[in-house]
């Protein structure tokens, strides 16, 4: 090449003599055609433009991209590529982070019609630099699945026919609906990411019903979405999310009480379960029948029985008949108390804590319980009975025969005392504190044919009232049908010596105070005591006969009364 060529600083690319020259400033050699140097003007061009810029071919169009004395200007490029200019100005898209770069650093021209101006490896692209990070399933799809003519939404790109006809990457938007159809058909506002993730559309892992106007609690949490969100009438494939009725329970649930209650369902029930006993909040104390005692543990359906109306099985709750115990409970007394004062109100004897024990007070009856009667089991006096053909075994309580002891207790004395003025009333001698000891005292004995006095008062009853057989049963003998003289109980130690003299009356000589201190007077005998005889001991004259034998006795009858019988050793007395 001639040294007389004048170099001009024209940015761009040159293809001189088959060599491709690049640099910040490229020399454009404008050759003045000298005589004898044959060159085509076409050799001045650095190379053919790509098909995208083919309309700019020709030296007259160089300044549309090139500025004299400078590089290719970004401003020149962006004056044509307005779509990129607006995105860079708005800090969106891939070019927004390349504002300090020159367009020619990536897009090389003058390399022929078939040269691709846009050429980069999508696999190495950090998609976050375009303002849309690829996450979840977005990482596993091909670029063309998103970057297609069908998904371009930007108006400025759509207006550029050249762009839409080429495989442009411009014009996409970040909103999900830019690529995906709205399965909710506009029912919901806001970003899809509020409910869904890029990993999968179902389930809606990001959605929380707590953000909705109807929070899910209790068993609502396990209900399938479709149970509450049905398909839209005009589109069976679209689930309905708006205009759902949920102001009260009856919006979804049938009223099992058939409108009997004006209160809301939550007044008595919770979402933990309709019949879950631990969560029922109904307060029975607010009704006419507060639950107390054993009624608290009774299952609802035991009182509120099922009924069927219009094919619906429901429980009866408005029960006007529950006014008294007999409305639910059978009369275990067979109507025995229907005629008593105050009626047959069960609560007068029983409580809700249980049918037994009874709180009945016997003090209000004609037979007050005292002493040992208080500990006697009711069944001992109130035996089983059947009333009005009732198959149940009932207790007899109206027992009019219980007027005296013998109505319940056997006469332990075998009727010995029935002839008494009181008819042998047991309470004359016994109390309800116990059959023994008897309260019959010596004072009471004075009213009998044998008043107790002296030592008799200290004698145990059984010593005199020994056992006898009456009607085959041994019992103490209380009534003497014969005489009650001393010999009835005591042996005659005198062996009948005084029978013909004193009519068997021991009391003539003895008293109940002491047996041995006799009150006998010798003046009444054939041998009155006089003189020295007065001071003699009885035994000196009354000798013991047949000692050591069953006939042993002190001699009284037949005692010698002559002087010689006792004073035989006195000669003078014997002579006299």
User: d(Cα 287, Cα 320) in Å, to the nearest integer?
Assistant: 11
User: d(Cα 62, Cα 123) in Å, to the nearest integer?
Assistant: 35
User: d(Cα 544, Cα 546) in Å, to the nearest integer?
Assistant: 7
User: d(Cα 412, Cα 415) in Å, to the nearest integer?
Assistant: 8
Q: What is the mean pLDDT of residues 221-231?
A: 91
Joined together, the tokens standing for residue 383 give 């035996």
Task: Give residue-wise pLDDT tens across range 341-385.
Answer: 655 688 888 888 988 888 888 888 878 889 999 898 888 888 777
Residue 163 has pLDDT above 80, yes or no: yes
**Sequence-ordered list of residues with C-beta below 8 angstroms from that of 90, at least 6 positions apart, any chain:** 96
Contact assessment for residue 432 and residue 370, using Cβ atoms and an 8 Å cutoff: yes
Contact assessment for residue 476 and residue 469, using Cβ atoms and an 8 Å cutoff: no
Instruction: Give percent of the chain with pLDDT exceeding 90.
Output: 15
Map residue 82 onto helix, strand or coil. Answer: helix
Q: Is the pTM of this model over 0.85?
A: no
Residue 573 has pLDDT above 70, yes or no: no
User: d(Cα 142, Cα 123) in Å, to the nearest integer?
Assistant: 10
pLDDT at 389: 57
- Report residue 316's pLDDT band, with 50, 70 and 90 as the boundaries: low
- Any alpha helices (H) in 188-299, and if so which ranges? 225-228
pLDDT at 85: 93
pLDDT at 9: 28
Q: Which DSSP symbol is given to 159? A: T
Task: Give residue-wise pLDDT tens across range 269-284.
Answer: 888 887 765 445 678 8
Contact assessment for residue 169 and residue 147, using Cβ atoms and an 8 Å cutoff: yes
Q: With 0-12 CB in 10 A as exposed, 13-18 as middle and 19+ as buried, what is 103? A: buried
Residue 17 has pLDDT above 50, yes or no: no
User: d(Cα 314, Cα 331) in Å, to the nearest integer?
Assistant: 29
Q: Which DSSP symbol is given to 49? A: P
Contact assessment for residue 390 and residue 335, using Cβ atoms and an 8 Å cutoff: no
- Report residue 432's pLDDT band, with 50, 70 and 90 as the boundaries: very high
pLDDT at 390: 57
Lowest-pLDDT range of 34-38, 304-308, 357-361, 517-521: 34-38
Phi, psi angle pair for 465, to nearest 5°: -95, 75
User: d(Cα 232, Cα 239) in Å, to the nearest integer?
Assistant: 6
Q: What is the mean pLDDT of residues 92-102?
A: 87
* pLDDT winner (highest mean) among 19-23, 72-76, 499-503: 72-76
pLDDT at 38: 36
Task: Give residue-wise pLDDT tens across range 509-542.
Answer: 888 888 888 888 888 888 999 999 988 998 889 9
Among 185, 210, 181, CA closest to 195: 210
Q: Please name the residue that has the structure tokens 């993730």.
A: 197
| ∠ Cα 289 294 300 (to 5°) | 60
Task: Give residue-wise pLDDT tens across range 405-422.
Answer: 888 888 889 888 888 888
pLDDT at 388: 57
Joined together, the tokens standing for residue 104 give 């020619």
Q: Look over the chain and give the mean of its residue pLDDT values, rounded to a whole number.
A: 80
**Sequence-ordered list of residues with C-beta below 8 angstroms from that of 13, at least 6 positions apart, any chain:** 20, 21, 22, 26, 46, 47, 108, 109, 110, 111
In this structure, the number of other CB atoms found within 10 A of the CB of residue 163 comes to 20
Residue 189 has pLDDT above 50, yes or no: yes
User: d(Cα 342, Cα 217) in Å, to the nearest integer?
Assistant: 53
| ∠ Cα 259 300 347 (to 5°) | 115
Q: Which DSSP symbol is given to 234? A: T
Task: Give residue-wise pLDDT tens across range 133-154.
Answer: 999 999 888 888 998 888 998 9
The dihedral over CA atoms of 263, 264, 269, 275, expressed in degrees to the nearest 10, equals: 80
């Amino acid at each position: 090449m001639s040294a007389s060529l004048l170099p001009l600083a024209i940015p761009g690319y040159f293809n001189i003599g088959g060599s491709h020259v690049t640099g910040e400033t490229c020399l454009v050699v404008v050759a003045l055609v000298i005589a004898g140097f044959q060159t085509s003007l076409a050799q001045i061009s650095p190379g053919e433009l790509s098909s995208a810029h083919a309309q700019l071919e020709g030296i007259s169009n160089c300044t549309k991209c090139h500025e004299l004395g400078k590089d290719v200007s970004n401003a020149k490029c962006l004056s044509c590529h307005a779509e990129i200019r607006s995105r860079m100005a708005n800090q969106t898209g891939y070019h927004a982070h390349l504002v300090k770069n020159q367009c020619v650093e990536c897009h090389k021209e003058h390399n022929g019609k078939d040269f691709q101006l846009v050429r980069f490896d999508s696999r190495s692209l950090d998609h976050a630099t375009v303002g849309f990070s690829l996450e979840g399933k977005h990482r596993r799809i091909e670029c063309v699945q998103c970057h297609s003519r069908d998904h371009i939404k930007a108006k400025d790109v759509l207006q550029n026919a050249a762009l839409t006809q080429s495989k442009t990457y411009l014009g996409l938007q970040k909103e999900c609906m830019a690529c995906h159809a709205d399965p909710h058909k506009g029912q919901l506002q806001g970003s899809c990411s509020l409910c869904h993730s890029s990993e999968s559309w179902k389930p809606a892992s990001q959605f929380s019903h707590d953000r909705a106007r109807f929070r899910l609690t209790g068993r609502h949490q396990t209900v399938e979405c479709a149970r509450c969100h049905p398909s839209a009438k005009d589109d069976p494939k679209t689930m309905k999310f708006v205009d759902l009725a949920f102001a009260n329970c009856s919006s979804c649930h049938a009223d099992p009480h058939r409108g009997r209650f004006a209160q809301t369902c939550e007044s008595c029930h919770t979402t933990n379960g309709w019949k879950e006993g631990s969560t029922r909040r109904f307060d029975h104390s607010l009704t006419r029948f507060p639950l107390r005692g054993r009624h608290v543990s009774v299952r609802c359906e035991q009182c509120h029985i099922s009924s069927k109306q219009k094919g619906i099985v429901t429980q009866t709750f408005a029960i006007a008949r529950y006014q008294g115990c007999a409305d639910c409970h059978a009369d275990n007394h067979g109507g025995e108390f229907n005629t008593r004062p105050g009626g047959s109100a069960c609560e007068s004897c029983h409580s809700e804590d249980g049918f037994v024990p009874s709180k009945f007070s016997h003090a209000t009856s004609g037979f007050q319980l005292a002493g040992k009667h208080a500990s006697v089991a009711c069944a001992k006096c109130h035996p089983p009975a059947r009333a009005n053909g009732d198959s149940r075994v009932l207790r007899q309580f109206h027992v009019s025969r219980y007027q005296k002891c013998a109505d319940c207790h056997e006469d332990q004395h075998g009727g010995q005392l029935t002839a008494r003025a009181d008819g042998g009333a047991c309470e004359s001698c016994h109390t309800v504190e116990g059959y023994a000891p008897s309260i019959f005292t010596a004072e009471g004995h004075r009213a009998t044919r044998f008043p107790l006095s002296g030592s008799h008062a200290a004698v145990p009853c059984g010593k005199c009232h020994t056992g006898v057989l009456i009607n085959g049963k041994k019992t103490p003998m209380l009534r003497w049908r014969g005489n009650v003289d001393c010999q009835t109980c005591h042996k005659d130690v005198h062996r009948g010596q005084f029978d013909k003299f004193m009519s068997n009356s021991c009391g003539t000589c003895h008293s109940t105070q002491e047996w041995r201190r006799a009150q006998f007077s010798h003046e009444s005998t054939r041998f009155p005591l006089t003189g020295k005889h007065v001071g003699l001991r009885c035994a000196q004259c009354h000798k013991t006969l047949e000692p050591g034998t069953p006939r042993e006795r002190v001699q009284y009858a037949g005692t010698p009364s002559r002087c010689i019988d006792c004073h035989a050793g006195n000669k003078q007395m014997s002579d006299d």
